[in-house]
């Protein structure tokens, strides 16, 4: 199998979602769908946004080794279902957009996974992006900045880092990393 699991991580506001959407629009990638125990939001679709399962089902999957990674946030579980990802990898490259700790769990479970950290051009630029979104208060932004410092401290555990100071360049850099990696494993 010459397909890659590409794990993208980075601080909140760095542009991960925008980059993933650009990569997906080219049609060569599948996006991993995570499981969660939280209730779906009005616009979310089961099997596309998340696989919405009960806490009991999630804990059963944990016991059975059914996740590449998982975590618990605000009393809800979130995790990457191993079988779903492996099935997707049979047909195409798979993108997984998750936080740093989950990415490192994935790397332990599948050492061949390609970890790419998306970095902001600067802390000041990231703060400006978060403020521009207008969706968070000052306290939340301060927490995200603090989390950013932790996440960036893990960059040496990643295979590559890409600075998102220009969206087109960042997407091109990621595509080049993937193409080079695929060339290595042929």
- pLDDT 10s digits, 2-51: 899 999 999 888 989 899 999 999 878 999 999 999 999 888 999 999 99
φ, ψ dihedrals at 138, nearest 5°:
-60, -40
pLDDT in tens, 97-111: 998 999 999 999 999
Name the helix (H) or strand (E) containing 80: strand 76-81
Pairing of strands 76-81, 67-73: antiparallel
Spatial contact of 30 and 94, defined as CB atoms under 8 Å apart: yes
pLDDT in tens, 42-80: 889 999 999 999 999 999 999 999 999 999 877 899 999
CA pair distance 76, 8, nearest whole angstrom: 22
CA pair distance 44, 155, nearest whole angstrom: 32
pTM of this structure: 0.88
CA pair distance 118, 60, nearest whole angstrom: 33
Name the helix (H) or strand (E) containing 101: helix 100-109
For residue 135, what pLDDT is reported? 65
Tell me the HSE value of 5 on the side-chain side, using a 13 A CA sphere.
Answer: 24
């Amino acid at each position: 199998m010459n397909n890659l699991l590409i794990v993208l991580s980075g601080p909140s506001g760095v542009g991960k979602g925008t980059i993933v959407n650009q990569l997906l629009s080219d049609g060569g990638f599948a996006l991993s769908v995570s499981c969660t125990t939280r209730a779906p939001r009005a616009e979310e679709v089961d099997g596309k946004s998340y696989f919405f399962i009960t806490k009991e089902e999630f804990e059963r999957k944990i016991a059975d080794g059914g996740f590449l990674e998982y975590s618990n946030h605000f009393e809800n579980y979130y995790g990457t279902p191993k079988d779903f990802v492996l099935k997707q990898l049979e047909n195409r490259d798979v993108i997984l957009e998750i936080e740093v700790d989950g990415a490192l769990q994935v790397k332990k479970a599948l050492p061949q996974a390609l970890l790419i950290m998306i970095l902001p051009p600067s802390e000041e630029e990231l703060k400006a992006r978060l403020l521009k979104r207008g969706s968070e208060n000052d306290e939340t932004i301060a927490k995200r900045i603090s989390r950013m410092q932790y996440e960036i401290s893990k960059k040496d555990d990643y295979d590559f880092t890409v600075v998102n100071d220009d969206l087109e360049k960042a997407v091109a850099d990621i595509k080049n990393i993937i193409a080079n990696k695929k060339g290595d494993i042929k």
